[in-house]
Amino acid sequence: MERLKVGDIVEVKTWDELAKEFGIDFTGAITHEFGFVKSMKKFCGKKLRIEKIDIDTFYLEDGEGWCFAIDMFKR
């Protein structure tokens, strides 16, 4: 994947894609090192603009302050 920058639009993978790739833990959340909880499910399949990047952490406009990892985005 090309290097992402602030202002780029990314598409968050669907819940099913994330579950298949990372699995689901006992709480029903996606098992990802960054965490992807059920409250974040509303972002699945949505295209959102990158608002801020902090090393390997992405914050999206209208992402309600949740952080995302690059492998949560469709390529």
Over the stretch 33-53, which tens digit does the pLDDT of each residue have? 888 999 999 999 999 999 999
2 burial via Cβ count (<10 Å: 0-12, 13-18, 19+)? exposed
Number of domains in the chain: 1
The model's pTM is 0.91
Which strands form 47-54's sheet, in the order they lie side by side? 9-11, 47-54, 57-60, 67-68
> Is 1 inside a domain boundary?
no
CB proximity list for 38: less than 8 A, separation 6 or greater: 27, 28, 29
> Is 3 inside a domain boundary?
no
pLDDT at 75: 85
pLDDT at 34: 87
pLDDT at 33: 87
Over the stretch 5-29, which tens digit does the pLDDT of each residue have? 999 999 999 999 999 999 999 999 9
| Tokens of residue 48, six digits | 């959102």
Question: For tokens 């099913």, what's the residue?
Answer: 16
Q: Please report which confidence band the pLDDT of residue 69 belongs to, taking 50, 70 and 90 as the band edges.
A: very high
The residue range of the domain holding 63 is 9-72
Task: Give CA–CA dist 60/6, Å, rounded.
Answer: 9
